[in-house]
Every structure is written in C-alpha cells, then in structure tokens.
Structure 1
Amino acid sequence: MTRDTNIEYRIEKDSVGESKVPKDAYYGVHSMRAYENFPITGRKMESEIIKSIAEIKKACVITNYEVGLISDKIKNAIVQACDNIINGEYHDQFIADPIQGGAGTTHNMSANEVIANRAIEILGGELGDYSIVHPNDHVNYGQSTNDVFPTSGKIATIRLLMEAKKSLIRLSEALDEKSMEFDDCVKMGRTQMQDAIPIRLGQEFNAYNSAIKRDIARFDKAIEAMSEVNLGATAIGTGLNADVDYVDKVVPNLSKVTGLDLRQTEDLIDGTQNLDGFVYVSSIIKTCAVSLSKMSNDLRLMSSGPRCGFGEIKLPPRQNGSSIMPGKINPVIPEVVSQVAFNIIGNDMTITMAAEAGQLELNAFEPVIFYNLFESIRTLTGAVNTFIDHCITGIVANKKRMKEMVDNSVGIITALCPHIGYTLAADIAKESIVTGQPIKELLLEKNVLNEELIEKILDPSAMTTPGISAEELIKKVI
C-alpha cells in the first residue's frame, strides 16, 4: 500500500509493532494490517455483516453494563457509536477485504476499532486515544472473534434469506396467476425430449409453483437453523473471560437489538467448532437455484423458434439477440437465471469444502463461507426478481401452435392402450410415423373403433386429467 504523503498519520501499536494510520480514520492498526495483508477480491465487507456486528457489540456492552462490568458513560458512548453504524454510517471505515485470514479476527477487530474511535469522539477525545475507550478492553469485553464473527454471519444470513423469501413468494404468486391463465391451453407433454401425451400449460406452471412453494418452506427452515448462535462461547465454547450472568443475558439482549428471534446454542463448544449449519443453508439455496434453472430450461425450449422451434409460448422481448442477425430475440432472462444457478452451485462447493476443512475447536474458514453464501443469496434474489418482472408475468401462450402439434402428434395414441392393447396401439403409431397419416384416420381405416368412441378417447383436454374408466366410457358410447 502506497501511503499518501499529503495525509497526516497517527502512530498505533500492536503486538507486531508500530504502524501509521490516517489521523482522521476511525479504523486502527489491525484494520491497516489487514488492508495490506489481504488484497484479495478488491471488495469491502457486506453492509449486512457490518450492521450485524455493530448490533452484537451494542448488545454486548448493554449486557456488560447490566452485570456491572462497564460504566454508564462508556456504555452510552459505545451504544451511540453502534447505532451510527447500524444506521449505515461509517461503513467506509471497514476497509478490509471480505476474504481474510484469521477466522474473522480482522472483521471483529475492525468493528472494535471503528466503534471505539467513534465512542472516543463522542466523549470529546482524539481518535486513537484508547485510554478513553479501548477496542479490546471495552468494545470487545467478554467476547472473542470466535463467537462474535459466526453470530454476525448468521444474523446477516437471516436478513438476506428474508429478502430472498419475499422474492420467492412473489414468484409463487406470479406462477399461480399464469397457471390459471393457461389452464385451458392443451399442449403436448414431452419425456426425454420426445412426444409423450397431452398436458395443459397451466398444469406445467402449477408444477413450477409447487417446486417454488417447497423452496419457500425450506427457506423457513434455513432461517430457523441460522437463529441458533454461539454468542457467549468466547474463544472455544467454554465461555472463558465472560461473566456467567453476561453469558445468560447476552443473546436475549441481542434478540431485542436485532428484532430477530435468536437463541443461544445448547452446546457452545459444538456451536463454535462446527459450521454444518452454513452447509445446510447453502444446500437449500442450491436446491432453489436448481429448480429455477430447470424452469428456465423449459421456458427456453417452449419458446424456441419463432418459426423452427417449439414456439408454444412467447417470452417478453427484452433486447436485440444478435449483432449480425436482424430481428433475432434471445431468451436472455431465463439465460441469466441459469447462470446465477451455475454460480450458486459453485459457491456451494466452496462452502462445503471450507466447512469440512476446520480443525479441532475452531473453523478458520468462515470468511470465505460468508463471502460465497452472501453472494449466493443476493444473486438468487436478484435473479428471481428479474425472472418475475421481465419474463414470467409477460409470457403469452401460442394456442394455435400448441393445437397443431397436439393434433399431429402420435403420442395421443397412448390413451387407446386400455381399449385396443399396447401392441396394436404401437403398430398404429409406427405406421403413422412412417406414412404421416393421422392416428384418427388410421383407426377408422382399420375399423378399430367407431368414430364417436375415437373422438371421446382422443379428446386432448380429457387426457390431461383422470376421467371415467375405459369400461364406463365404452358403455356410454355403445
């Protein structure tokens, strides 16, 4: 890092030695070292995790005050500093990269420094005068990175999941509307990309909605899993250096500060060393992404054309599809949804390996877990929103094209199996494929069934739902 000669600096010390810190900076020596050590992504910490760690520090200082370990004066200054950060101020002072060594110590110490310096300023002191408010002795009192950082990651994850869930609920509502709109649109179903039997377009959209509803239910379980935190565990889960009353009260106070229904994990050692909860949440995000991408694949196929493909539906045109082919429109929204899904699947692998790689009493790889998990949830939310607004709500059914394909399909002969047997039905299907002669004509020509019965059996709409038995049908016609 090249230091600007026009900036005034103050000198701060840590166990490594001395370091220059910009005189007006709210961050301190630890943040500066991390900034120099970890030029990894070029990004800053997510605003959600900056807010959540400030909420934790606020809850901790309130609890320490309640049990008689922090003075009223220092408590009030730290609370005000935390409130500033919670309200979106001073986020630019968190200068470290989100992927960092040290199991999150950088982020915890950055919060301690920024909060301490802001509290010092509130009390009328000069930035860096830690004799007034100390990052470790006051802001971090009774805490460790090892209980603060995972707790902050869980709070941030909960809030991101809540936003994603809102988007999924909107998608479910949009799919429900389309399923009703398309309920009378009969088309050919396909299995292994080959003609199968008729299905209503509305039924397909209802099936998409069923998958999204399952995703919504899983998101509730993910939020529940993230609501169990290890705050109070300190370094390895034994609660060393934390007052016993503080350990009991800190999570209830954190629930009040955040407005979230949080609870302290029953086994604080387990809650400190194991990160399987984040793997569980990531797998839920991945599952949702797979459902979205599968739906996108279907929409691209059904909208393929416009003349030489399936052409069963029309997607809203969003932009030119080619720099060389005039008039070409591509299914860009389903494409971007699938790309988001691919990225989420990759992130899930990173999260899985990072959780697996922890040793003994602490997993040191939480920073990369949070980086990828936050990206997965945020991009999923963005993909769902654009999917709804720029694709799903504007889909139009091409009823004429669907009818043509149903009428010309060989697949409808499946409905005849209960009446004429599989072997004869297969022979007629083969002949229809070779000659191009419609199924109905062949049935009449071969005098297999009378015309009235053929019309009733091969009614495409009737094929899309269970109806009366073959025996009853014949009795009604004959």
Structure 2
Amino acid sequence: MTAAVTRSEHDLLGDRDIPADAYWGVHTLRATENFPITGTPISSYPHLIEALAAVKEAAALVNQELGLLEPKKAAAIVETCREIRDGKLHEQFVVDVIQGGAGTSTNMNANEVIANRALELLGHAKGQYEYLHPNEDVNLGQSTNDVYPTAVKIATVFAVRGLLKAMSVLQDAFARKAIEFRDVLKMGRTQLQDAVPMTLGQEFSAYAVMIDEDRSRLAEAVELIHEINLGATAIGTGLNAPVGYAESARRHLSEITGLQLVTAANLVEATQDCGAFVQMSGVLKRIAVKLSKSCNDLRLLSSGPRAGLGEINLPPVQAGSSIMPGKVNPVIPEVVNQVAFEVIGNDVAITMAAEAGQLQLNAFEPIILHSLSESITHLRAACLTLAERCVDGITANTEALRASVENSIGLVTALNPHIGYTAATDIAKEALVSGRGVAELVLEKGLLPAETLADLLRPEVVAGRSRALT
C-alpha cells in the first residue's frame, strides 16, 4: 500500500491539498503562491528561523506555567523549537522573505512547521491539528505583530555580532600595515593636489581608526535592538495575553537566547515604531560610506601601475581583462564599493518602510528585515574579503614615494619655518617652472646644509610623528 501523496488542510478560503511530507501547511502554501517576489525563502536567513523558534519556545514555556497549555503539548513544542535552533527543518521555511501582511506568512510558516513536527513527536500524523494546533497552541498568547518584530530584533543582534568581528579583522589588517609602513615617507594630498608630507603608515592608521569608530557606533546601535514588544499581541494592548505574560515571555526568551532583552515601556508605541531599525540602518550606511571611501583611496593610490599614482601595490588576484594582456584590476576594492552602494540603497528602503507605517502597525517590516539582513551579511563578507584578499598583501613603492616628496612643491611647507616664507615661495615658483625638485634647489642655493635637510626629511620629523598616530 503506497503512502498518501497529499493531505488536505482547511482555512477560511477553503480546502487545499498539501504535500504529505511537508511540515508547512495551508497558510504557507497560499503565501508561496501569493508572493513569488525574490525567490529567496526565509530559510536563507538562519538567524531569523532560530529567533522565531526561540520566541515560540519561550511562549510555550510561559503558557505551560500559566496553565494555558497542556504539559505534553508544551514539551513537544519546546523540543521542536530546540531542534530548529539546532539547524533542523530550516528547509521547511519556504515563504518569500518579502511578503504582504506584516510578516503574518512568516509567523504562520513557523506555527505550521512547529505544530506538524510536534504532532510527530506526540505520535500523530502531520495535519492532525485536533491534537495540536498551529494557531491555538503554537501561537497561543501571541500575534504576528509581536512575534515577528521580536524575532527580527533577535536575528539582527546575532547578525551584528558577526559583522563586529569582521570589522575587527579588517581594522587589525589596516593597523598592521600602519606599523609596517610607519617609516615610508610620502606626500599627503588635499583636493587631489600635493599638500604636505606624511607617512604611508599614518594614511593606513586613519583607515584603522575609522573602522574602530564605526565599530563603537554599531555596538551602541545594537543595544536599542534589545528592546522587544513580545506580549503586545495585535496592537500593543496585550489582548488575549494574560497578566504577566509579557514579562515571563521576556524572561524565558532572555534565558534561551542569552541576550539581555528588555520589554518596551509602552507596547502600543513599540508595536508601531521602527525607529531602532532606522537607527541601525543609519549606522550601517555610515560604515558603508567610510569603507567605500577607503576603497576609493586604495584604488587611487594603486592606480597605474606606470601611468597612475602607483604608490602602493594591491595583491593581484585575477587577470583583469579579456583583451588587454597583463592588466590587473583592483577587483577587491571594487566589490566592496558595490556592497557599500547596496547598503546605502537599503537604507533608503528601510527609511521609506519605517515612514510608511500607519496607525498602530507597520506592515512593511518584511522589507526592513530583508534590507537589514542583506546589509549586515554583505558588509561582513566585504570586510573579511577586503582584509584577507587585499589589505594583508599590500606593498609600498617606497623609493618612488620618497622621490615624490623630495620633488614635490608641497615640501616647501615643511621647510618654511627653516628658510622663511619668502625664500620658500621663490623655491616653489622655480620648482614649478623648471620641474626640478625642491630639495635639489634648496641645496643648490645654500639655504640649508645637506645634513640639516636630510634630518628635516626624516619621517618622524616631516610627518609630525609626535603629533599623529604611527
């Protein structure tokens, strides 16, 4: 006798056949039909799936404590949620990440998967909801409007931890280069024109400091994401959740996740306000902008190799052209630039989604989840790629850099205190007209002894080592 290929499930729109082996049910089926948008299922966001399971586990424990859920049912739900948090059944979370309904389809997908696996643990077949129901048991005391944003926040916290670690790797890579290049003299530039001398170490130290600053801002922003609205139910009034539910759910959820979660002081406000997501996105945009600026610099400094600045060499990682033999492109900084562009675009999407909320609920949190997740995960990958495939292998064209300092008109600024403004101006004019080096003209005119000039051109003197990092 062959096993049934399908099972029948019912909702308010009628009956539908569900694959017999599927853990999801009729609500999930309709969502997959209604939202063929990105082709990216929520299973692509494991932090979200694990967070949803954590929320459902906490809810089951509270409902058992309050006498609302039979111990056997609660135990089956809890065991299922722990399986999901261990990585099982993720492939059953099939609804598209971008969906209408404020995340209801995601919540129902979770309810159905958990219910059907719990039914198996209780010795029943999938779909026998009279023994354990997705809505009446798994979703007891909850609403999508408190489950979904709470899960998104938990998922965001864990994703940000990965980004913070990746940023630290990149910061360390730049810092190592700052030390390696601490005695490499070069010309600093403002508005792409020669300015004053500095060291290449100082230039790379600045990149490390920029990342360090952004790590601090990101750590601050993620603290706001620890505030949740679980227990708010539909609009923040806590309807259908008993007294004490919110605090007990928060306590269990904190124990499950290891996070110091806080219940929002005003659940009506928390259910409709997406301000914490906007702030997080703003910090991600800040990171992207500064990371992209650093990559612009790396591309410019390595331009050439003979007809550009050619001050540094990026490690060659692949052939650069199908028509120009020997050409090597700065492909790693280029891909990081593109991630930055994406993050900036995502910030616009998150801003518009947060603004578009109406009255007691924001219906557009799915696009906020999608955009935040893409920004965080792609920035993480970009930081690691830039550190390991680019920064670690950068070398300096030391002699060419020093020669550019000695030949640059900008050097007169450093010599001004020693030869006087008028003489320095004359040297600058002559160097510009003749094309000769400033150091050469200073020596020729006897304005400084060779020993003094050499001393003044030491990196620690020219670059103000005592006044700047590295």
**TM-superposed deviation, 1:453:** 5.0
* Structure 1 partner of 2:31: 34
**TM-superposed deviation, 1:424:** 4.7
Q: Does 1:93 align with 2:59?
A: no
Residues 73-128 of structure 1: CA deviation (Å, up to 9, x unaligned): 10011111111211111112111100000000000011111111111111111211
CA distance in 1, matches of 2:234, 2:426: 74
Give matches, 1:98-117, under 5 Å. 98-117=97-116
Residues 21-57 of structure 1: CA deviation (Å, up to 9, x unaligned): 1122111111011000000001110121111101100
Q: Does 1:13 align with 2:18?
A: no
Residues 343-368 of structure 1: CA deviation (Å, up to 9, x unaligned): 11111110110001001100000000
Please tell me whether the aligned partners of residues 409 and 438 of structure 2 are also in contact (alpha carbons under 8 angstroms). Answer: yes
**Runs of at least 5 residues in structure 2 that lack an aligned partner in the other structure:** none
What is the identity, as a one-letter code, of the residue corresponding to 2:380?
Answer: T
Please tell me whether the aligned partners of residues 167 and 383 of structure 2 are also in contact (alpha carbons under 8 angstroms). Answer: yes
- Overall identity of the aligned pairs, in %: 53
**Closer, same or farther: CA 223–370 of 1 in aligned 2, 3 Å:** same
**Closer, same or farther: CA 444–174 of 1 in aligned 2, 3 Å:** closer
Instruction: State the secondary structure of the residue aligned to 2:17.
Output: strand
Instruction: State the secondary structure of the residue aligned to 2:358.
Output: coil
Instruction: State the secondary structure of the residue aligned to 2:67.
Output: coil
Please tell me whether the aligned partners of residues 304 and 311 of structure 1 are also in contact (alpha carbons under 8 angstroms). Answer: yes
Q: Does 1:126 align with 2:119?
A: no
**TM-superposed deviation, 1:459:** 4.8
* Structure 1 partner of 2:285: 286
Please tell me whether the aligned partners of residues 49 and 156 of structure 1 are also in contact (alpha carbons under 8 angstroms). Answer: yes
Please tell me whether the aligned partners of residues 40 and 97 of structure 1 are also in contact (alpha carbons under 8 angstroms). Answer: yes
Instruction: State the secondary structure of the residue aligned to 1:244.
Output: coil
Residues 207-247 of structure 1: CA deviation (Å, up to 9, x unaligned): 11111111111121122111111111111111111011222
Please tell me whether the aligned partners of residues 406 and 460 of structure 1 are also in contact (alpha carbons under 8 angstroms). Answer: no
Instruction: State the secondary structure of the residue aligned to 2:88.
Output: coil
Please tell me whether the aligned partners of residues 234 and 241 of structure 1 are also in contact (alpha carbons under 8 angstroms). Answer: yes
**Closer, same or farther: CA 56–298 of 1 in aligned 2, 3 Å:** same
CA distance in 1, matches of 2:359, 2:421: 63
Residues 267-291 of structure 1: CA deviation (Å, up to 9, x unaligned): 1111100001001111111111111
Instruction: State the secondary structure of the residue aligned to 2:357.
Output: coil
**TM-superposed deviation, 1:416:** 3.2
**Closer, same or farther: CA 309–7 of 1 in aligned 2, 3 Å:** farther
Give matches, 1:365-384, under 5 Å. 365-384=364-383
How many residue pairs are counted as aligned between the two chains? 463
* Structure 2 partner of 1:3: none
* Structure 1 partner of 2:257: 258
**Closer, same or farther: CA 63–447 of 1 in aligned 2, 3 Å:** same
Give matches, 1:51-450, under 5 Å. 51-422=50-421, 424-444=423-443, 448=447
CA distance in 2, matches of 1:7, 1:391: 56
CA distance in 2, matches of 1:334, 1:106: 39
CA distance in 1, matches of 2:103, 2:454: 70
**TM-superposed deviation, 1:313:** 1.2
CA distance in 2, matches of 1:7, 1:354: 44
**TM-score scaled by structure 1?**
0.93
Instruction: State the secondary structure of the residue aligned to 1:187.
Output: strand
CA distance in 1, matches of 2:252, 2:317: 49
**Runs of at least 5 residues in structure 1 that lack an aligned partner in the other structure:** 1-5, 469-478
* Structure 2 partner of 1:472: none
Instruction: State the secondary structure of the residue aligned to 2:110.
Output: helix
**Closer, same or farther: CA 241–344 of 1 in aligned 2, 3 Å:** same
CA distance in 1, matches of 2:7, 2:421: 88
* Structure 2 partner of 1:22: 19
What is the identity, as a one-letter code, of the residue corresponding to 2:409?
Answer: V
Please tell me whether the aligned partners of residues 143 and 234 of structure 1 are also in contact (alpha carbons under 8 angstroms). Answer: yes
CA distance in 2, matches of 1:254, 1:444: 74
Instruction: State the secondary structure of the residue aligned to 1:98.
Output: coil
CA distance in 1, matches of 2:253, 2:459: 60
